[in-house]
């Protein structure tokens, strides 16, 4: 059996092989994308009380369904298609548990392309950063309504107006209005 290393075969050929029952190709795809899905799941950390592992599992189920439903003739990259399905599956899980209050403690997410390994902050920088975060959290807690807090957190996670509206079961205009109020409050910080 031919061996595939993590970067040797392109996604489309691996998808076709996986669809035809090649478990090695399926494993390569899972290994190739599992870190991205885990990173995306952790960006929703503690939102509505859903455990990061549960979101990761939901994302992986969306990813695996993407493998078997992907159509290369549709002129879409597999990476885009599969990550969209993985995120939608996570968002669906979030919507199902929307009755729980989101925690503000994890509203800052790391950008996927950030290379955190090449930079090591000094202890002083860490203390200053933590103080700034504390100031932001305090400002948000004291000045934002319950709805604004939810919208702010979801926006900081990188969700679109449509995704935020869907999760909160509000109109996109309502989300836009909340973000406008948030921006106005932030501009008025003294």
Alpha-helical regions (H) of 43-145: 52-69, 78-96, 123-143
Place of tokens 């799941």: 41
Domain membership of residue 60 (yes or no) is: yes
The Cβ-side half-sphere exposure at 144, using a 13 Å CA radius, reads 23
Q: Give the domain CATH number at 122.
A: 1.10.10.10
Q: Please indicate, yes or no, whether residues 36 and 90 belong to a single structural domain of this protein.
A: yes
The answer to whether residue 99 scores a pLDDT higher than 70 is no
Q: Please indicate, yes or no, whether residues 50 and 123 belong to a single structural domain of this protein.
A: no
The pLDDT confidence band at residue 14, using thresholds 50, 70 and 90, is very high
Task: Pick the last residue of a domain from 96, 131, 152.
Answer: 96
Domain membership of residue 81 (yes or no) is: yes
Mean pLDDT, residues 140-160 taken together? 83
The answer to whether residue 60 scores a pLDDT higher than 70 is yes
Mean pLDDT, residues 36-51 taken together? 76
Answer yes or no: are the C-beta atoms of 47 and 157 closer than 8 Å.
Answer: yes
pLDDT, position 190: 56
Q: Please indicate, yes or no, whether residues 65 and 139 belong to a single structural domain of this protein.
A: no
pLDDT, position 135: 73
Number of domains observed in the structure of the chain: 2
Q: Please indicate, yes or no, whether residues 49 and 80 belong to a single structural domain of this protein.
A: yes
The answer to whether residue 177 scores a pLDDT higher than 90 is yes
Domain membership of residue 2 (yes or no) is: no
Q: pTM of this prediction?
A: 0.51
Q: Give the domain CATH number at 47.
A: 1.10.1740.10
Host domain of residue 19: 11-96
The Cβ-side half-sphere exposure at 140, using a 13 Å CA radius, reads 22
Q: Please indicate, yes or no, whether residues 42 and 91 belong to a single structural domain of this protein.
A: yes
pLDDT, position 16: 92
Q: Please indicate, yes or no, whether residues 21 and 72 belong to a single structural domain of this protein.
A: yes
Domain membership of residue 3 (yes or no) is: no
pLDDT, position 34: 87
Q: Who has greater pLDDT, 43 or 64?
A: 64
Q: Please indicate, yes or no, whether residues 17 and 79 belong to a single structural domain of this protein.
A: yes
Task: Pick the last residue of a domain from 42, 66, 96.
Answer: 96
Domain membership of residue 1 (yes or no) is: no
The answer to whether residue 175 scores a pLDDT higher than 90 is yes
The answer to whether residue 4 scores a pLDDT higher than 50 is no
CA distance 19 to 115: 34
Q: Please indicate, yes or no, whether residues 19 and 74 belong to a single structural domain of this protein.
A: yes
Percent of the chain with pLDDT over 70: 77
Q: Please indicate, yes or no, whether residues 21 and 64 belong to a single structural domain of this protein.
A: yes
């Amino acid at each position: 059996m031919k061996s595939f290393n993590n970067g040797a075969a392109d996604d489309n050929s691996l998808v076709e092989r996986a669809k035809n029952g090649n478990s090695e190709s399926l494993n390569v795809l899972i290994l190739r994308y599992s870190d991205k899905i885990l990173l995306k799941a952790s960006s929703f950390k503690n939102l509505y009380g859903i455990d990061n592992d549960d979101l990761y599992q939901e994302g992986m189920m969306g990813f695996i369904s993407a493998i078997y439903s992907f159509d290369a003739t549709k002129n879409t990259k597999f990476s885009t298609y599969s990550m969209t399905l993985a995120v939608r599956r996570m968002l669906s899980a979030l919507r199902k548990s929307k009755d729980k209050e989101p925690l503000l403690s994890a509203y800052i997410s790391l950008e996927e392309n950030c290379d955190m390994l090449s930079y090591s902050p000094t202890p002083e920088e860490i203390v200053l950063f933590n103080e700034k975060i504390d100031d932001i959290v305090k400002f948000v807690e004291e000045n934002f309504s319950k709805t604004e807090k939810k919208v702010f957190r979801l926006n900081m996670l990188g969700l679109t107006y449509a995704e935020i509206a869907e999760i909160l079961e509000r109109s996109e205009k309502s989300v836009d209005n909340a973000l406008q109020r948030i921006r106005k409050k932030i501009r008025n910080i003294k």
